[in-house]
Amino acid sequence: MTPDPDASRDGAERRRKRPREAGTRALLDSLAIGNPDDLLKLGDILSGLGRRAFAVLLFLAIPPSFIPGVAGVISSPIVILVGVQLLWGLRRPWLPRFLAERGPHRKIIIRFDEVFSPWLKRLEHLIKPRYTGVLDHRAASMLTGLILILLGVLLALPIPLTNPIFGGLLLLFALALLERDGLLMLLSWLASAIAIAIFGVLSGSLAATAAHWIGKVI
């Protein structure tokens, strides 16, 4: 059967006209607009985001991870929840009501935007959709979930001066998922594996704590 050239042209035209989803910097800028004292409820933010909701939820967990004493209370449970659901193969995150009604205050997002927006602007030229099969494969999703669980556990442990490192790794994962960049995801896996190996050994209790947290989430 001879392919219809008109149908091929129509399909290509539709792909060209399909709007690209807003990038990370545009998404961050939109969240930073408004009253700094407003509470950004996670349930409201994630509504209608589809498969990008995991990345956005992970992204929202990053700012508190840089605040001593807060990471273990806010960021760690969210990161572990994202990791467990990716490990299970869910296509969009499920949030318990008590978590859906909570979230960061806009002033935290504004501060995060002020610090990281210039860097994100530079990274926009480097981060782009590529090797998307790395992101869509079931095994890749499971690996990402497992790594996020371990990073979430490490965030909860009192290891001095490590939260910025873990926050940076979470940022790599969020960017890879938001921008559909499979190459960046591969780099995120490698960097996280090194960090987990080093700090997991230093903590001496990673496995036991991880099992405890997974048991609580499940």
Residue 10's pLDDT is 47
* C-alpha to C-alpha distance for 36 and 111, rounded to whole angstroms: 10
Query: CB-based contacts of 194: which residues, under 8 Å, 6+ apart?
Result: none
Q: What is the pLDDT of residues 80-100, one digit of tens each?
A: 989 999 998 888 888 888 778
Q: What is the pLDDT of residues 116-172, one digit of tens each?
A: 777 777 777 788 889 888 888 889 999 999 999 999 888 887 777 788 889 899 989
CA 206: distance to chain centroid?
A: 21
Q: Are 196 and 154 in contact (CB under 8 A)?
A: yes
| The pTM of the whole model exceeds 0.75 | no
* DSSP for residue 20: P
- pLDDT confidence tier of residue 7, bands split at 50, 70 and 90: very low
* DSSP for residue 34: S
Residue 19's pLDDT is 44
Q: What is the pLDDT of residues 31-82, one digit of tens each?
A: 788 888 888 888 877 776 666 788 888 888 887 777 766 767 778 888 998 9
* C-alpha to C-alpha distance for 172 and 121, rounded to whole angstroms: 15
- pLDDT confidence tier of residue 173, bands split at 50, 70 and 90: very high
The domain limits of the chain are: 21-217
